[in-house]
Amino acid sequence: MPLCTGAVIHPCSHTKAASMVASSRSYADFTPEATFDIKKVDLHRLEEGPPLTATLTREEGLKYYRTMQTIRRMELKADQLYKQKIIRGFCHLYDGQEACAVGIEGGITLSDHLITAYRAHGYTLTRGGTVREIMAELTGRRGGIAKGKGGSMHMYTKNFYGGNGIVGAQVPLGAGVALACKYLGNDQLCVSLYGDGAANQGQIFETYNMSSLWKLPIIFICENNQYGMGTSVERSSASTEYYKRGDYIPGLRVDGMDVLCVREATKFAADHCRSGKGPILMELQTYRYHGHSMSDPGVSYRTREEIQEVRSKSDPISMLKDRMLSNNMASIEELKEIDIAVRKEIEDAAQFATTDPEPPLDDLCSHIFANDQPFEVRGATPWTKLTSTS
Amino acid sequence: MLHCWDGARFPPGGTISIPAKEFNLGFIRPVNSVSHGLRVFTCPLVNVRDALNQAMDEELERDERVFLLGEEVAQYDGAYKVSRGLWKKYGDKRIIDTPITEMGFAGIAVGAAFAGLRPICEFMTWNFSMQAIDQVINSAAKTYYMSAGAQPVPIVFRGPNGSSAGVAAQHSQCFAAWYGHCPGLKVVSPWNSEDARGLLKAAIRDDNPVVFLENELMYGVPFDLSEDVLQKDFVVPIGKAKVERRGTHITLVSHSRCVGFCLDAASVLAKEGVECEVVNLRTIRPLDVDTIEASVMKTGHLVTVEGGWPQYGVGAEICARVMEGPAFNYLDAPAVRVTGVDIPMPYAKILEDHSVPQIKDIIFSVKKVLNM
């Protein structure tokens, strides 16, 4: 079966390792579900917010753990491959922000829609992509999720509209998707993500206006990781209360390092949208461990101490792990096995991504137009005649 | 999409000595320069990045009204390090970091130019200028005309243009034809360090809006700069092309990085007895038709070379102008264009390599035009 991280993990199935572990503990020993206190959310133009507690089942916990760990290891592998020059061009890594992608997905369904900017590998995964296809896209091979033609910033899956390179442009696009949802009456919504750097873009304010006027089912989410490339929020934004920037749009400011906080806030926001109240805005306070991209060491505008502090005190994966272990929802061995399985999945994917062949030259001119007759494309010289197919 | 470069390969300025075989410029020197073996360079090697940096530094010093704004230009030293050291030297007033809001800050820059300042507005790449293009065209380019000469707009918009390496479709477009289309704008496209230095100085000193199209892949490439070029008042006149290599059989007209490819192709063709004349446009608008025509009237054959798409492009304009002028009667064969492939830029290396004009495409076209 495909190693899909969306699948529910049962410890005594699938892996040989699991069945070989002489576990002295059976299912009955683990707590099936627990309720956790979560940080209060700051509210803007809202009387009430998401609940102050979240209930996590063992299954959910293991699923979130595995998915976040997969994103983490996938991004670290991408770092390696980039340094080996096997991945080229742009590569914007998501490690540190895993709770956002996983928590959001926990609050919506795959029939809802999502669009984000260029720090998109994690979302490609949570939205149904496989590690294999994502890595092969990064290495520009024919098995890539966009057949090697898009690269890091241009990956798509069903109901996931990328991966977008131009800062802020994805936000009105998301509102357009939401408009279609309302138009088609399908009770779906669109999550439209952007960063703290993008939050000042004019087109985002234009989108706030139209979404509110027309009561579109859109959740605006600002992933505030404190820095827009090398510029801290204080240096870019007259107001750093991004959850209030929608003005007339109700807003929430959420701890983006806690997957349960993110999930509960997303559920709350989704209910708001689906009840026809129109847009809502969430600010997720999060952090990226890597620099802006692989070309940015990430330490000229922030200190190593700061990065280390976030890692040691607020790491999303550690937080979930500690919660589960201290509430007896999983064992250390079990989580270690998941780690091993994830490592293997990443290794296999990397192996595929480095050995799969590049796209065929026939693909050069394909996919210019949809549903069209094949037509001639001018190559580099007038004598180079190429063909485009849909 | 936002990115930076990790630093120059060569020391800025200074003299260094490199054996010829290690001196990998990717092209063979033009015939009218000194060939080198092992020698100590008396002309300093300056890469394009440093040439731009020094030009801006000197112009900031010369005229207090000049200032630089853009994303990451100040504290980050520039996304590609082109503005390295300038914020440290000139401070917040003259070197301004903007939020990621191109439409807004381009408008602010034009407004500052209206009021008598001389802004340099950097787009991190020209792809992002599309967010601000209304300000460039409608607010900057047309205002002097609309005001019947009352309101000049002494602004420079600069940044890297065209394809890079592996940055995919949204980050690889060439805008020479788009901006070259508009009256009221000057559009320049330097190739080497001398071009970069001289044209940037000229652009900053020009009282008109200038679109300055750099090339990311040229930033790290070093070139000899003579003493004359290093003078503080050295400018390369806007609107004048340069013949980089004299030849008699065919004219190659190009701009930016492709000039280097033309020189490479010319070296290869010279071995087969074909002498190419290579014209470096330097300026897209106003186009130096005289230099192109003089060359075509001498050689009788024309190939244009550019990185941008063919349709409605720079090469198309050159061919049309040659058709309409005296040089047409001297053509022994139709003029032909070598261009980027007419597709959005793919990411995979093998596809990207086949999307841009290669030296072999230039050689092939020359031979076809010369009926070889």
Give the model's pLDDT for residue A25. 61
Helix (H, G, I), strand (E, B) or coil at A334: helix
Residues of B in contact with A299 (CB under 8 A): none
Strands A113-115 and A190-195: parallel
Is the CB of B76 less than 8 angstroms away from the CB of A165? no
Burial class (CB in 10 A: 0-12, 13-18, 19+), B263: buried
Complex confidence, ipTM? 0.89
Q: CA-nearest residue of chain A to B128?
A: A166
* B167 to A89: CB separation less than 8 angstroms, yes or no: yes
CA dist., res. A221 & res. A231, Å (int): 20
Which of 132-191 (B) contact A at CB < 8 A? 164-171
Nearest alpha-carbon partner for A262 in A64, A34, A94: A64
Per-residue pLDDT of chain A (390 residues; tens, 9 = 90+): 444 444 443 444 444 444 444 445 666 689 999 999 999 999 999 999 999 999 999 999 999 999 999 999 999 999 999 999 999 999 999 999 999 999 999 999 999 999 999 999 999 999 999 999 999 999 999 999 999 999 999 999 999 999 999 999 999 999 999 999 999 999 999 999 999 999 999 999 999 999 999 999 999 999 999 999 999 999 999 999 999 999 999 999 999 999 999 999 999 999 999 999 999 999 999 999 999 999 999 999 999 999 999 999 999 999 999 999 999 999 999 999 999 999 999 999 999 999 999 999 999 999 999 999 999 999 999 999 999 999
Q: Is the minimum CB–CB distance between B372 and chain A shorter than 8 Å? A: no
State the smallest CA–CA distance between residue B144 and chain A in angstroms: 27
Residues A195 and A200: their CA atoms lie apart, in Å, by 9
Residue window 30-49, chain B: list those with CB within 8 Å of chain A.
none
pLDDT digits (tens, 9 = 90+) for B53-110: 999 999 999 999 999 999 999 999 999 999 999 999 999 999 999 999 999 999 999 9
SS3 B276: strand
Which chain B residues have a beta carbon less than 8 Å from that of A198? 100
Q: Active-site residue among B71, B72, B171, B317?
A: B171
Q: What distance in Å separates the CA atoms of residue A107 and residue A113, rounded to the nearest whole number? A: 12
Q: What are the two backbone dihedrals, phi and then psi, of residue A41, each rounded to the nearest 5 degrees?
A: -95, 140
DSSP assignment string, A207-274? HHHHHHHTT--EEEEEEE-SEETTEEHHHH-S---GGGTTTTS-EEEEETT-HHHHHHHHHHHHHHHH
Q: For chains A and B, what is the number of CB pairs under 8 angstroms?
A: 178
Q: Which one of the listed residues B102, B194, B317, B352 is annotated catalytic?
A: B102
B354 and A361 within 8 Å at the Cβ level: the answer is yes
Question: A300 to chain B: which residues are within 8 Å by CB?
Answer: 76
Of A88, A231, A381, the CB nearest to B165: A88
pLDDT per residue over A31-61, tens digit each? 999 999 999 999 999 999 999 999 999 999 9
In this structure, which amino acid lies at residue B283?
Answer: T
Interchain pair B71, A229: CB under 8 A = yes
Q: Which residues of B267-294 are buried (b: 16+ CB within 10 A; e: fewer)?
A: bbbbeeebebbbbbbbbbbebbbebbbb
Which distant-in-sequence residues (6+ apart) come within 8 Å of A104 by Cβ?
A114, A126, A191, A221, A262, A263, A266
pLDDT mean across residues, chain A: 94
- Provide the shortest C-alpha distance from residue A200 to chain B (in Å): 7
Please report how the helices B86-94 and B48-62 are oriented relative to each other, as an axis angle in degrees rounded to 10. Answer: 50
Using CA atoms, how far residue A358 sits from A240, A335, A389, in Å, is 44, 36, 19
Distance CA B3, CA B67 (A): 23
Which of A270, A250, A254 minimizes the C-alpha distance to A262? A254
